Amino acid sequence: MAFDVNKLVRNNIRRLQPYSSARNEFSGDASVMLDANENAFGSPVIGNYNRYPDPLQNKLKEKLADIKGVPKDYIFLGNGSDEAIDLLFRIFCQPGIDNVVLVPPTYGMYEVSAQINDVYCKKVPLTADYQLNLDEIAASIDQNTKMIFICSPNNPTGNSIKAQDIETILVNFDGIVVVDEAYINFSKQRSFTYTLPEFPNLVILQTLSKAWGLAALRLGLAFANKGIINLMNRVKPPYNINQATQEMVMKALDGVEQVNQWIQEVVKERESITQELENIAQVKKVYPSDANFILAKFEKAKELFIHLKKKGVIVRDRSNQALCEQGLRITIGAPEENALLLREIKNFYED
């Protein structure tokens, strides 16, 4: 049976008449813009930002389509990936009725968005080696299960989820499968964007906050078939990506070579830090990582976390998450930052 996304959509969303902004109602160039109640005199100090931006970010999507190898119509741009996550809940999940499957430990915003939208989370923990428990996931699905969220490379564990296992879920689950690839640039695993024509129920999340170094601009990407992208565009606010962000990202996308160099440096530093930590007796385990961070388990992890904080070195305490007991998540920094981190860890255990 062919996948029909409309069967998953909430009734109120299916009936929704989206807001039609002034910029939606014409295409091409115009010399006199008197349709949007803007200030015709310009903007003080900062330049020409008195006009509303392109609500569908067409030029930016065209450039991203070339880089990502994905058709423009398969791309949604959000105010960070968090906006895309929230929209998926609002489109597909009926509050108080539907549920989603999460596979902890994983990115915390899936559950936060679920709670905001009054959607129940069924949690199926990863296995001891941080892979999917396919049998338990299958057993957790019922007629009201609308989405399954999979982060790969996973946050906070850093490992990639087996592609074959993700494909198994895509083939056998009648709902939406969200694969969050925020850290895919640091992984040797191939992006699932190449499988979009094969899986109509697939949504892929990516971001420009990590490898591209644009966290402050808050631009998240979602890739899916046209039907899902059209739904996301209908529900989003009319001008969700501001003009300044669109312009700065357009310029940044010319720096592919610089980004690739940074990725290589991060991977090199990641391997170096891993080796250094493995030589410290009080470090119980350093997990293999395909991301720009590592998860390591330490003796006295909470005390070490507090020590590092006092020394001005901030890491993430993940010891309260499932399967991450005594675990700290450490982002790969610049070489001098990594050297300070290692020095303070050694100082803590030597005192």
In 3D, which of 260, 96, 237 has the Cα closest to residue 185?
A: 260
Residues 149 and 234 in one domain: yes
Residues 212 and 325 in one domain: no
Residue 343: CATH number of its domain: 3.90.1150.10
Helix (H) or strand (E) holding 251: helix 243-252
Residue 174: CATH number of its domain: 3.40.640.10
For residue 185, pLDDT over 90 is answered with yes
The pLDDT value given to residue 193: 97
Whether the CB-CB separation of 143 and 7 falls below 8 Å is answered with: no
Residues 63 and 206 in one domain: yes
| pLDDT (tens digit per residue) in 272-282 | 999 999 999 99
Residues 298 and 343 in one domain: yes
Measured in residues, the chain has a length of 351
In 3D, which of 90, 213, 81 has the Cα closest to residue 155?
A: 81
At residue 1 the predicted structure's pLDDT band, cuts being 50, 70 and 90, is low
Tokens of 202: 């697939």
Q: Quick one: what percent of the chain has pLDDT higher than 90? A: 89
Q: What is the mean pLDDT of residues 44-70?
A: 93
The pLDDT value given to residue 351: 76
How many distinct structural domains can be found in the chain?
2
Residues 322 and 218 in one domain: no
> CA-to-CA distance for 177 and 224, rounded, in angstroms?
10
Query: 314 lies in which domain range?
Result: 257-350
Residues 230 and 278 in one domain: no
Mark residue 47 as left, alpha or beta (left: phi above 0; alpha: psi -120 to 50; beta: remaining).
left
Domain boundary among 254, 278, 311: 254
| pLDDT (tens digit per residue) in 298-343 | 999 999 999 999 999 999 999 999 899 999 999 999 999 999 999 9
For the whole model, what pTM was predicted?
A: 0.95
For residue 40, pLDDT over 70 is answered with yes
Residues 107 and 239 in one domain: yes
The pLDDT value given to residue 45: 82
At residue 24 the predicted structure's pLDDT band, cuts being 50, 70 and 90, is confident
Domain boundary among 254, 282, 311: 254
